[in-house]
């Protein structure tokens, strides 16, 4: 069942010199999750943060940390991010070698597990793990960078996955990541998304705007 819209700000668009204060400001402004993009310069053409940053941020927020791993190979890092304080760990099947095994590893750490699909990866890729995952993330841009344009071509995939989640009877968050704005958020939600990652659109205008920016993405303002 589609749940009410929740917002997961991506800290990729935050002021990296003040990250602790930034995530505190997001929590005060009503964020639902903190989305942390982990990139390795190999699976995607950008390099961001590792488990030590997650650990350093952990005392600054009580919100769930939604850790999006764009790294390959990934399995050795799952326990490290779990210990650092991740609550949800999301991985890409394209990162290989065996998404089902990685999902099992995440669950074994006592964490929620997500599977993320690149724009070119079909909805069918979730089939083998639909019975295990807590979250499905649809990439609406090519992963690697914030500030890209939403790919409307992904809306059909979101609809297909909404139907599959509902048919499964399981509670699975359907998250959309990339190019979410006040214009594209309603499209993603109408297609069935209930969790929106938003970097650029959340952080625009600085901390005094975070609450309003997120309200607009939820469709409340
Ligand atoms: C892209 C990341 C996204 C990105 C979103 O690879 O997974 O989370 O930071 O940024 P915006 O909201 O600016 O498109
Ligand atoms: Zn992300």
Task: Give the ligand 1 atom nearest the CA of 142.
Answer: 6
- Counting ligand 1 atoms within 8 A of each CB, the residue from 34, 150, 177, 210 with the most, and so the one to mutate, is 177
- Establish if 133 belongs to a structural domain: yes
Q: Looking at the DSSP assignment, which residues form a beta bridge with residue 137?
A: 116, 175
Reported as a pLDDT band with limits 50, 70 and 90, residue 221 is confident
Q: How far is the CA of 202 from the centre of ligand 2 (A)?
A: 14
**146 occurs within a structural domain:** yes
Kindly list the strands in the beta sheet with 195-198, ordered across the sheet, starting from the edge strand earlier in the chain.
6-9, 195-198, 173-177, 135-139, 112-117, 88-91, 65-70, 34-39
pLDDT in tens, 51-102: 999 999 999 999 999 999 999 999 999 999 999 999 999 999 999 899 999 9
Helices in the chain by DSSP H: which ranges? 19-28, 51-57, 78-84, 99-108, 155-168, 185-191, 200-203, 210-218
Ligand 1 binding pocket mutation candidate from 141, 193, 198, 205 (most atoms within 8 A of CB): 141
The H or E element that residue 189 is part of is helix 185-191
- Is 177 catalytic? The answer is yes
Per-residue pLDDT of 191-216, as tens digits, reads 999 999 999 999 999 999 999 999 99
pLDDT in tens, 133-183: 999 999 999 999 999 999 999 999 999 999 999 999 999 999 999 999 999
Domain annotation covers residue 1: no
CA distance 64 to 15: 20
Report the CATH number that the domain containing residue 54 is assigned in CATH: 3.20.20.70
Rounded Cα–Cα distance for residues 189 and 155 (Å)? 10
Residues facing 194 on adjacent strands:
none
Domain assignment present for residue 112? The answer is yes
**Average pLDDT value over all residues in the chain:** 98
Atom in ligand 1 nearest the alpha carbon of residue 148: 14
Distance 37 CA to ligand 2 centre (A): 5
Distance CA 124, CA 61 (A): 35
Task: Give the domain extent around 49.
Answer: 6-218
Domains identified in the chain, total number: 1
How many whole angstroms separate alpha carbon 133 and alpha carbon 113?
5
Decide: 9 and 26 in contact? Cβ < 8 Å. yes
- CA of 11 from ligand 1 middle (Å) equals 9
Which residues fall inside 5 Å of ion ligand 2, going by CB?
37, 68, 177
Give the C-alpha separation, 200 to 191, whole Å.
Answer: 22
Q: What is the pLDDT of residue 91?
A: 98
């Amino acid at each position: 069942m589609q749940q009410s819209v929740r917002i997961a700000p991506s800290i990729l668009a935050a002021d990296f010199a003040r990250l602790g204060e930034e995530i505190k400001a997001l929590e005060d402004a009503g964020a639902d999750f903190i989305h942390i993009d982990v990139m390795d310069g190999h699976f995607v053409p950008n390099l961001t943060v590792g488990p030590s940053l997650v650990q350093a941020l952990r005392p600054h927020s009580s919100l769930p940390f939604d850790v999006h791993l764009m790294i390959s190979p990934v399995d050795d890092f799952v326990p490290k991010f779990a210990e650092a304080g991740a609550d949800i760990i999301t991985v890409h099947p394209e990162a290989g070698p065996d998404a089902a095994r990685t999902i099992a590893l995440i669950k074994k750490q006592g964490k929620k597990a997500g599977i993320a699909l690149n724009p070119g990866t079909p909805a069918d890729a979730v089939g083998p793990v639909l019975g295990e995952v807590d979250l499905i993330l649809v990439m609406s841009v090519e992963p690697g960078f914030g500030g890209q344009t939403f790919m409307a071509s992904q809306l059909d995939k979101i609809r297909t996955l909404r139907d599959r989640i509902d048919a499964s009877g399981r509670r699975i968050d359907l998250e959309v990541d990339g190019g979410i704005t006040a214009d594209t958020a309603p499209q993603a939600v109408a297609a069935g998304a209930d969790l929106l990652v938003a970097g650029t659109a959340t952080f625009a205008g600085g901390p005094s705007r975070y609450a309003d920016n997120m309200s607009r993405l939820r469709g409340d303002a």
